[in-house]
Amino acid sequence: MLIGAMNHPERDVLDEIRWMAEMKLEFLDLTLEPPCAAPWRLDFAQIRDELQRNNMPAVGHTAYYLPIASPFESLRKAAVEELTNCLRAFAKVGAKWMNVHPDRYAPMHPRSFYIKRDIQSLRELLDVAHEVGVGIMIENLPHDFNTVEQLGEILDEVPEIGLHLDYGHANLEVEEHTAPSLLHAFGPRLKHVHMHDNKGGRKDLHMPLGTGTIDYRYQVECLKGCGYDGTITLEVFADDRHYLSYSRDVLRNLWEESSAKTAEAGCDRTAAYR
Ligand SMILES: [Zn+2]
């Protein structure tokens, strides 16, 4: 399991890689967003070299506000074009997976409308994804894409799409944390994880691990019980980086402590395929 962090879109990507390496973070969750990390502003050969120098792989993250389900066809196409540019950029830095946030912003339209548009856009992106060798995964989001049923509307239709599980989001606007059920349904398709804390309800607070209401001891046991051993980004948003290094230690300790208990976790990967 590798622990990493995301570059801040308002800061220089190379500087971000350097302090993460100093903090002994193990990969970069490279988000390609304006103003400073827009794909058209970056030198990807330089980024690849800096990552290699620090022995850090990259995972691809994209802006959450690209309108891939827009009722305006020209906007939907433009969003797909931007994500296509991201796919090509991620291929240059050696990232194997790129996340996409499902879109729901289609006022006056039923849910079925934007689900169909999301699927259409994802299928168009998969054509390029195959060409450049980067996989596509979708991230769970509060309210509309946070349960097995909701995400299944996309994941069941497009089997090549991976799951990117955000543990903070899975605690918002739900009766109980949805990660265990998502792992049970889609565990074998899990490609990347985000962790941060919050207090439930609607506020996506991105707090350090252990400071909100998410039971990370239980969640880490479940995650390991599913056989996951990939990348985990600490999406802790605080100016003081001690909160990030603290969260890294919390996660590493929980991960190591839970190893003996994975068999009891009840999230057996072999029983999980849906
Ligand atoms: Zn996230």
CA 6–ligand 1 middle distance (angstroms): 10
167 pLDDT higher than 90:
yes
**% of the chain exceeding 70 in pLDDT:** 95
The pair phi, psi for residue 230, each rounded to 5°, is -105, -145
Token representation of residue 153: 């509307």
Determine the 3-state secondary structure of 21 from DSSP.
Answer: helix
Would you state the pLDDT for residue 149? 98
CA 194–ligand 1 middle distance (angstroms): 5
CA distances from 267 to 19, 51, 184, 186 (A): 36, 34, 6, 11
Quote the pTM value.
Answer: 0.94
Give the model confidence (pLDDT) of 34-75 as tens digits.
999 999 999 999 999 999 999 999 999 999 999 999 999 999
CA–CA distance, 267 with 264 (Å, rounded to integer): 8
Would you state the pLDDT for residue 248? 98
CA 5–ligand 1 middle distance (angstroms): 11
262 pLDDT higher than 90:
no
Determine the 3-state secondary structure of 191 from DSSP.
Answer: strand
Predicted confidence band of residue 269 (pLDDT cuts 50, 70, 90) = very low
CA 91–ligand 1 middle distance (angstroms): 21
In one-letter notation, the amino acid at residue 192 is H
Count CB neighbours of 238 within 10 A: 13
CA 84–ligand 1 middle distance (angstroms): 20
Predicted confidence band of residue 195 (pLDDT cuts 50, 70, 90) = very high
* Side-chain-side CA neighbours of residue 125 (13 Å): 34
CA 86–ligand 1 middle distance (angstroms): 17
The whole-number average pLDDT for the span 116-123 is 98
CA 214–ligand 1 middle distance (angstroms): 15
CA 101–ligand 1 middle distance (angstroms): 9
CA–CA distance, 267 with 273 (Å, rounded to integer): 11
Residue 83 burial by Cβ neighbours in a 10 Å radius (0-12, 13-18, 19+) = buried
CA 166–ligand 1 middle distance (angstroms): 5
266 pLDDT higher than 80:
no
